[in-house]
């Protein structure tokens, strides 16, 4: 299978277009055709970076330090501060223009693309050959410690010149994990027999309410111990940490996109006091709620400015459109 071979017409992964603030840091491993791997460095300035639609499923994560990320094509779009354990999953056909800004010094980004054919191969191996909906795998900023660990190991092997068989094994493992973990959480083709998807929906809908492990398990056919094991297998984390992550993500969104006082954000996210909220937020993100709001606003202003400059470069008119 040609996959990503350089001499295979029409089978090369579209390269990331690097502005001056992003540079490739490692050469490609020519022995690998099962995975396309690229590592780039984001410097201090904000830039709009074009990530062409992948010819497979692209996994993106940064390798150290908080990173402000925003959609530079839509200045008012989603933006936030992402940690190294949060991944972005881009399915085929999704073209992104992203604004990156490191919080403190240069940050390395890893981009690993798994070809479509591995998902087709996995589908054929399933009972009945049920298809895999790769589009449903799309995610931005989702915590996934398994993918984080596997990609780190893949990068080490890639840099050390491991053979093509290593890449094929890693690709198959990543496909199985992405599909099965997604279907365990959503119920997938087999339904939600374990009740985990229902619990996750309940947590998202009642994120500010006090919810105990006993409450969660009661929504499933399992006792607390079996529920805890199934939940951890499905999500990669414990119920407490999952709920805390939901609260922290909501808090960050409210701080970055709204004007509510910190005390009101704390209340809306289920914290008994602003002090407890601020301590927890700092442990989770490495910054204070007030600083997070200021940094996000500054980053969004820079991304909007970069987007206007990009449109000006394309049209020759400040912020205008080509006639």
Q: Is residue 107 part of a domain?
A: yes
Among residues of the chain, what percentage have pLDDT more than 90? 23
Q: Is residue 310 part of a domain?
A: no
Q: Is residue 48 part of a domain?
A: yes
* Spatial CA neighbour of 49 closest among 10, 101, 121, 108: 101
The pLDDT-based confidence of 260 (bands split at 50, 70, 90) is: very high
Three state DSSP letters for 57-117: EEEEEECCCCEEEEECCCCCCCEEEECCCEEEEECCCCCEEEEEEECCCCEEEEEEEEEHH
Q: What is the mean pLDDT of residues 228-243?
A: 87
Q: How many residues does the chain have?
A: 323
Q: Is residue 240 part of a domain?
A: no
| Whole-prediction pTM | 0.56
Q: Give the pLDDT confidence of 79-138 residue by residue, as tens digits.
A: 455 666 678 888 888 877 666 665 556 777 888 999 999 999 999 998 777 788 888 888
* Spatial CA neighbour of 34 closest among 59, 76, 2: 2
Q: Is residue 171 part of a domain?
A: no
**What's the domain count of the chain?**
1
Q: Which has more confidence, 121 or 189? A: 121
How far, rounded to the nearest angstrom, does the alpha carbon of residue 242 sit from its chain's CA centroid?
16
Q: Is residue 73 part of a domain?
A: yes
Whole-number pLDDT of residue 35: 92
The pLDDT-based confidence of 225 (bands split at 50, 70, 90) is: confident
Cα separation, 121 vs 170, whole angstroms: 14
Cα separation, 151 vs 149, whole angstroms: 6
Whole-number pLDDT of residue 100: 62
Residue 77 has pLDDT above 80, yes or no: no
- Average per-residue pLDDT for the chain: 76
Q: What is the CATH number of the domain that holds 50?
A: 2.60.120.10
Q: Which has more confidence, 54 or 266? A: 266
Q: Give the pLDDT confidence of 17-74 residue by residue, as tens digits.
A: 444 344 444 455 567 889 999 887 766 555 556 778 888 999 988 776 556 555 443 3
Q: Is residue 205 part of a domain?
A: no
What count of Cα atoms within 13 Å lies in the side-chain half-sphere of residue 166?
Answer: 17
Write down the H helix ranges in the chain.
Answer: 116-125, 145-159, 164-186, 196-205, 213-218, 224-235, 239-257, 262-268, 274-285, 289-315
Q: What is the mean pLDDT of residues 285-304?
A: 80
Whole-number pLDDT of residue 75: 38
Cα separation, 171 vs 118, whole angstroms: 7
| Strand partners of residue 88 | 60, 140
List the domain range (segments joined by +) for residue 71: 22-162
Contact between 119 and 179 under an 8 Å Cβ cutoff? The reply is yes
Q: Is residue 4 part of a domain?
A: no
Whole-number pLDDT of residue 23: 43
């Amino acid at each position: 299978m040609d996959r990503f071979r350089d001499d295979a017409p029409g089978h090369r992964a579209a390269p990331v277009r690097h502005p001056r603030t992003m540079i490739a840091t490692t050469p490609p491993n020519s022995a690998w055709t099962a995975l396309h791997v690229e590592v780039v460095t984001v410097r201090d300035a904000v830039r709009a970076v074009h990530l062409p639609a992948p010819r497979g499923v692209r996994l993106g994560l940064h390798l150290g330090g908080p990173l402000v990320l925003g959609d530079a094509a839509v200045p008012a779009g989603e933006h936030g501060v992402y940690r190294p354990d949060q991944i972005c999953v881009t399915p085929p056909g999704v073209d992104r223009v992203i604004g990156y800004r490191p919080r403190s010094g240069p940050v390395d980004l890893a981009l690993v693309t798994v070809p479509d054919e591995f998902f087709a191969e996995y589908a054929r191996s399933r009972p009945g050959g049920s298809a895999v909906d790769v589009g449903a795998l799309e995610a931005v900023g989702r915590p996934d410690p398994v993918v984080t660990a596997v990609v780190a190991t893949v990068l080490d092997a890639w840099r050390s010149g491991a053979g093509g068989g290593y890449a094929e094994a890693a690709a198959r493992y990543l496909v199985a994990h992405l599909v099965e973990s997604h279907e365990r959480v959503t119920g997938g083709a087999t339904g939600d027999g374990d009740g985990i998807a229902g619990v996750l929906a309940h947590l998202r809908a009642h994120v500010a309410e006090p919810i105990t492990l006993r409450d969660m398990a009661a929504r499933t056919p399992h006792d607390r111990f079996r529920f805890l094991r199934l939940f951890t297998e499905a999500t990669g984390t414990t119920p407490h940490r999952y709920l805390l992550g939901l609260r922290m993500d909501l808090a960050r969104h409210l701080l970055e996109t709204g004007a509510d006082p910190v005390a009101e954000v704390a209340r809306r996210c289920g914290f008994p006091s602003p002090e407890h909220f601020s301590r927890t937020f700092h442990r989770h993100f490495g910054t204070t709620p007030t600083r997070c709001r200021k940094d996000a606003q500054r980053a969004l202003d820079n991304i909007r400015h970069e987007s206007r400059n990009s449109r000006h470069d394309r049209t020759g008119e400040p912020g205008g459109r080509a006639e």
